[in-house]
Amino acid sequence: MMAVCGLDCGQCGLKDGCAGCGETEGRPFGAGQCPLYACCREKGQDSCGPCGGCGLKEELVREFNALGIPDMPEVAGLNTLPGSYVNLQYTLPGGQEAKFWRDDRVYLGNQLEKLGSGRCYGLLADEKYLMVCEYGQDGADPEIIIFKKRSVAE
């Protein structure tokens, strides 16, 4: 089975818990709609293809690169990622713990190695927000670098 965005669902390690984007109108993990599915449908496309033909991936790559974060390599692409896989828990300054994304949504993101460090930058976005965090191996000790509303969001 191929996803609307062109991914081969048979190669996904989460395929057993996924209801399929075509079958669920872009909500393979529950309530929230995949931003690629929504973007492609808004533009009247039946499928996006692996590059995200609606242009959302390219917009987000430009926005991430424009942040000018020191020691972050240039972002070349983004992947579709289930929220349950990337929704890290952060400790806020007051000691509270919080998650900022939904486990039942699909987001666009990537992981980039922080230059000169054993840590990584985690990038995540949807149609409204961008987030860059920094973390150690397996998501250890995550820190929010930037979490902001996208300027194109309504």
Instruction: Report if residue 3 sits inside a domain.
Output: no
d(CA 100, CA 13): 24
Instruction: Report if residue 154 sits inside a domain.
Output: no
Average pLDDT of 16-38?
68
What pLDDT is attached to residue 62?
Answer: 95
Instruction: Report if residue 94 sits inside a domain.
Output: yes
**What is the extent of the structural domain holding 22?**
9-149
Instruction: Report if residue 1 sits inside a domain.
Output: no
d(CA 152, CA 154): 6
Handedness of CA 126, 76, 19, 46 (dihedral sign): positive
Contacts of 23 (CB under 8 A, 6+ apart): none
Q: How many CB atoms lie within 10 A of CB 108?
A: 26
Q: How many domains does the chain have?
A: 1
What pLDDT is attached to residue 81?
Answer: 83
Instruction: Report if residue 88 sits inside a domain.
Output: yes
Instruction: Report if residue 44 sits inside a domain.
Output: yes
d(CA 72, CA 133): 11
Note the pTM of the prediction, 2 decimals: 0.79
pLDDT tens digits, one per residue of 104-130: 888 889 999 998 888 999 999 998 999
What pLDDT is attached to residue 107?
Answer: 87
Instruction: Report if residue 100 sits inside a domain.
Output: yes
pLDDT tens digits, one per residue of 42-86: 666 665 555 556 678 889 999 999 999 999 999 999 888 888 888
d(CA 60, CA 103): 21
Instruction: Report if residue 113 sits inside a domain.
Output: yes
Query: Which residue type, as a one-letter code, is found at position 52?
Result: G
What pLDDT is attached to residue 128?
Answer: 92
User: Is residue 37 pLDDT above 90, yes or no?
Assistant: no
Query: Which residue type, as a one-letter code, is found at position 61?
Result: V
User: Is residue 91 pLDDT above 70, yes or no?
Assistant: yes
What pLDDT is attached to residue 85?
Answer: 83
